[in-house]
Structure 1
Amino acid sequence: MKLIRQFGIILAITFAGEVLKGLLPLPIPVSIYGLLLMLVLLITGILPLEAVQDAGKFLIEIMPVLFVPAAVGLLDSWPSLQAVLLPVSVITVVTTIFVMAVSGLVTQTVIRRERKPK
Structure 2
Amino acid sequence: MIWPLAILLGCQLSGEVASRALGLPVPGPVIGMVLLLVLMALFRPLPEKVAPTAQVILGNLSLLFVPAGVGIVSQLDKVAQYGPGLLAALLGSTLLALAAGVVTFRLVARLTGERT
- TM-score bracket, normalised by the shorter chain, equals 0.5 to 0.7
- Partner of 1:11 in structure 2? 9
- Partner of 1:45 in structure 2? 42
Structure 2 gaps, min length 5: 109-116
- Partner of 2:114 in structure 1? none
Deviation of residue 99 (structure 1)?
5.9
Q: Relative contact order, CA 8 A, sep 6+: which one is greater? A: 1
> If the length of structure 2 is used for normalisation, what is the TM-score?
0.67
Contact 2:11 2:35 in 1 (8 A): yes
Structure having the higher helix fraction is: 2
Deviation of residue 62 (structure 1)?
0.9
Deviation of residue 100 (structure 1)?
7.0
More divergent stretch after superposition (58-67 vs 30-39): 30-39
RMSD: 2.9
1:20 aligns with 2:18: yes
> If the length of structure 1 is used for normalisation, what is the TM-score?
0.66
User: What fraction of aligned residue pairs are identical, expressed as a percent?
Assistant: 25
Structure 1 gaps, min length 5: 110-118
SS in 1 for 2:63: helix
* AA of the residue aligned to 2:82: V
* AA of the residue aligned to 1:60: L
SS in 1 for 2:43: coil
Report the count of equivalent residues: 105
Residue in structure 1 matching 2:60, options 59, 62, 65: 62
CA distance in 2, matches of 1:70, 1:54: 27
Deviation of residue 67 (structure 1)?
1.0
Closer, same or farther: CA 81–56 of 1 in aligned 2, 3 Å: same
Contact 2:5 2:50 in 1 (8 A): yes
Contact 2:19 2:26 in 1 (8 A): yes
